[in-house]
Structure 1
Amino acid sequence: MLIVVTEAVPPRLRGRLAVWLLEVRAGVYLGNVSRRVREMLWEHCEALMEDGNIVMAWQTNTESGFDFQTLGKNRRMPIDHDGLRLVEFFPVDGENLP
């Protein structure tokens, strides 16, 4: 299972994701694709996202049962804590956003 959530991305990227995944809500895509297709979709996200932000999550054989990656500015950033992927929140003012 693959989940992609987008915010403020251009229509051409949303259209590209909709070719491979089902858009169940505005900017929320679901699908069951191979690792190769997932990586190809991520490359498209990197190339076409402009000023938006994206999170991609997928099922995997880890302690938590899933993995995820993010792209773009967002208050929530993934961190690794003793092998677990967690989410760190930056302050509301956004001054420390990467």
Structure 2
Amino acid sequence: MFVVVSVRASQEHFHGYLSRFLTEADVGLYVGNLSKVVVERLWERISSVPTSGAVTMIFSDPSREQGFNVVSVGDSARTAVDIDGVTVIAGLPGRATQKLYNSR
């Protein structure tokens, strides 16, 4: 199954761990083709590591309507919400207002 992992603000050893399984296409962006068991165990490890940033994993999932699934952990401005089998990315309330005031 195809996997994409986006990592933001994490420790260096965590990047090294992901590089064992995936190819770093850009800074903090990892891609690869892994078995279902490896993806599940990789996500268990990712979600158990404390991070001040955020990690998002997108992987192929033929059981879902869109053919993929999105899971994330950490401090992110967006969250994946499942609505009747369709994944929708939702922004956190007030985030746009906060960005507007911070840019002034």
Query: TM-score scaled to structure 1, two decimals?
Result: 0.88
Per-residue CA distance 1:4-25 (angstroms, 9 max, x = gap): 0000011111100000000010
CA–CA distance in 1 between the matches of 2:53 and 2:46? Answer: 10
State the Cα distance separating 1:49 from its structure 2 match.
4.1
The yes-or-no answer on 1:35 pairing with 2:36 is: yes
Structure 2 unaligned regions, length at least 5: 100-104
Matched residue, 1:81:
83
Tell me which stretches of 4 or more aligned residues in structure 1 moved more than 6 Å: none
Q: Quote the RMSD (CA, aligned, Å).
A: 1.4
Query: What does the per-residue CA deviation read over 1:64-89, in whole Å, with 9 as the maximum and x for residues that have no partner?
Result: 11111010111111111122111111
Who is 2:66 aligned against?
Answer: 64
Match of 1:3 in 2: 4
Match of 2:102 in 1: none
Identity %: 28
Q: How many residues align?
A: 94
The separation in 2 between residues aligned to 1:89 and 1:11, in whole angstroms, is 28
State the SS of the aligned residue for 2:56.
strand
8 Å contact kept, 2:6–2:57: yes
Aligned counterparts of 1:60 and 1:39: Cα–Cα separation in 2: 12
- Work out whether 1:18 is the aligned partner of 2:14: no
Query: In the TM superposition, what is the alpha-carbon distance from 1:47 to its structure 2 partner?
Result: 2.6
